[in-house]
Amino acid sequence: MADTMQFDLVAPERKLASVEEAVEVMVPGSDGDLTVMPGHAPMLTTLRPGKLTLVTRSETQSYAVTGGFAEITPEGITVLAERSMPAEEFTKEVHDRLIEEARRVHDEAHPSVADMTAKLLADMEALGAHMLG
Amino acid sequence: MPSLKDLKNRIGSVKNTRKITKAMQMVAAAKLRRAQESAEAARPYAERMHSVMAGLAGSVKGSDTAPRLLKGTGSDKTHLLVVMTAERGLCGGFNANIAKLARQHAEKLLAEGKEVKILTVGKKGRDALRREYGQYFVGHVDLSEVKKLSYDDAQGIARDLIGRFDKGEFDVATIFFSIFESVISQTPTAKQIIPASYEPEEGEEHVPTVNYDYEPSETQILTDLLPRGIATQIFTALLENGASEQGARMSAMDSATRNAGEMIDKLTIEYNRSRQAAITKELIEIISGAEAL
């Protein structure tokens, strides 16, 4: 079995990363974090806001994602992120803006989905702790 | 017969027009390149989205639990036409072609006794359809302030559409936009986005779907993804439209520049001829005057 896999991270407006030799990828799945390694069972999962870490033989790179989904096959993983940026671009200002947005959505949300938006807001806040902390 | 002065003025004004159209053409060319780049950059996401959605949609299609966005309301009485055009004119038949397609569609639906609602994106489409279909307008999205199209714009439109769908304002939504083929050819296109139809595109091999594990459940993922799929389709359409608009403007301005050039040539010949005629006339007058002495 191959010991590396293909990794793609795409956002609607641009392709962020395409690496052929990913060793492992840590993904913030909506039901919990998971680490994907080569030969992983095929799987589709949605994402919550969080930190995505890519490990290749030579380096480790982090990205912030704000939701989306990941398609995992034994040969690789494709992450379709709603909004995403490399860790270097994720500054306090960006984070504050995201939180503000999540809070507004939560405040305007219908009571039936308030749980969901509250979770989103909490995830956004936690994202900052992961990325900036 | 226009006087020499008139001709000179006209040549001057056509020259000015040519300068303007030439400048517009070059601006459009630069914008077109940027528009194409963003359309290119958005493609991987849209393609992946499409293939995943096609797989998912295929597997839950028959079941009763399929979300309404996918299987529809069960009726097709009220149609919402989302007409996407440019904010500006002077781009050849671009806006007119999209409006024409939308008009044909609306006519057909009305003739079948369906109810029609129209949502316009972009000022020109609204202006073109207002006189005939003004009473069907349900909203307008203004993108004139937008310098560079972002996914958020598309998401805004998608949210608006889904909100209306949930309130039961329409059963079927179709978007009208122009696909960018090349600078000289843009095809106005109608595409149904609600209920979402994910058929493999023409000429595309149907990829056998892998048996995925779903986390959380399959339907939940689908519910989560459908609005995103719609937003992605709108985003793609907006980008295609942007590129088409600039392409159409570029070729329109190119032919305008060429026309102005031809006109200048013709006017210059006429000017030279009348100048020559005037000189000849004066000479004859002087000579015959001299002879008479």
Mutate to test the interface with A, among B50, B212, B235 (most CBs of A within 10 A): B212
Chain B hits for A71, Cβ within 8 Å? 48, 52, 212
CA pair distance B122, B92, nearest whole angstrom: 16
Pairing of strands B185-194, B115-121: unpaired
Q: What are phi and psi of A32, to 5 degrees?
A: 135, 160
CB pair distance less than 8 Å for B42 and A30: no
Question: What letter would DSSP give residue B87?
Answer: S
Kindly report the nearest CA distance between residue B151 and chain A, in angstroms. 6
Kindly report the nearest CA distance between residue B169 and chain A, in angstroms. 19
B204: pLDDT strictly greater than 60: no
Out of B44, B151, B210, whose CB is closest to A73? B210
Closest residue in A to B220 (Cα) is A46
Closest residue in B to A11 (Cα) is B45
Cα→Cα distances A56→A4, A14, A53, A85, B185, Å? 8, 22, 10, 18, 45
- Range with the lowest mean pLDDT among A55-59, B167-171, B213-217? B213-217
CB pair distance less than 8 Å for A44 and B52: yes
Report which of residues B199 and A119 the model is more confident about. A119
**Contact with chain B for residue A35, Cβ under 8 A:** no
Specify the pLDDT at position B203. 46
pLDDT band at B276; cut points 50, 70, 90: very high
Specify the pLDDT at position B209. 59
Half-sphere exposure of B50 (CA within 13 A, CB side): 19
Specify the pLDDT at position B239. 92
Closest residue in B to A77 (Cα) is B48
- Range with the lowest mean pLDDT among A106-115, B128-137, B208-217? B208-217
* pLDDT, tens digit, 9 for 90 and up, residues B221-270: 888 888 888 999 999 999 999 999 999 999 999 999 999 999 999 999 99
- Give the list of residues 6+ apart from residue B121 with CB closer than 8 angstroms, or none: B82, B83, B84, B85, B140, B141, B143, B157, B238
pLDDT band at A126; cut points 50, 70, 90: confident
Kindly report the nearest CA distance between residue A131 and chain B, in angstroms. 23
Share the mean pLDDT of chain A. 87
Percent of chain A residues topping a pLDDT of 90: 26
Q: Where in chain B is the domain with CATH 3.40.1380.10?
A: 34-251
B206: pLDDT strictly greater than 80: no
Mutate to test the interface with A, among B40, B43, B45, B49 (most CBs of A within 10 A): B45
Say whether B143 sits in a helix, a strand or coil.
coil
| Marked catalytic residue, from B35, B81, B82, B91 | B91
Chain A hits for B44, Cβ within 8 Å? 8, 10, 15
User: Given 2.60.15.10, 2.20.25.190, 3.40.1690.10, 3.40.50.300, which CATH number is that of A5-87?
Assistant: 2.60.15.10
* B-proximal residues of A, 62-81, CB under 8 Å: 68-69, 71, 73, 78, 80
What is the residue extent of each domain of chain A?
Answer: 5-87, 89-132
Chain A hits for B38, Cβ within 8 Å? 13
φ/ψ bin of A102: left (φ > 0), alpha (ψ from -120 to 50), beta (otherwise)? alpha
Whether B208 sits among the annotated catalytic residues: the reply is: no
Q: Which residues pair with B172 in a beta bridge?
A: B79
- Count of CB atoms situated within 10 Å of the CB of B138: 14
Of B5, B64, B57, whose CA–CA distance to B226 is shortest? B57
* pLDDT, tens digit, 9 for 90 and up, residues B120-171: 998 998 999 988 888 889 888 888 887 788 888 898 899 899 989 988 889 9
Closest residue in A to B50 (Cα) is A80
Specify the pLDDT at position A120. 83
Chain B hits for A80, Cβ within 8 Å? 45, 48-49, 52
Q: What is the H or E stretch that residue B175 is in?
A: strand B172-182
CB pair distance less than 8 Å for A46 and B38: no
Of B3, B54, B63, B96, whose CA–CA distance to B197 is shortest? B54
Kindly report the nearest CA distance between residue A31 and chain B, in angstroms. 7
Chain B hits for A45, Cβ within 8 Å? 214-215, 221
Specify the pLDDT at position B10. 94
Question: Thinking of the domain B34-251, which architecture would CATH place it in?
Answer: 3-Layer(aba) Sandwich (3.40)
Per-residue pLDDT, averaged over B52-56, amounts to: 80
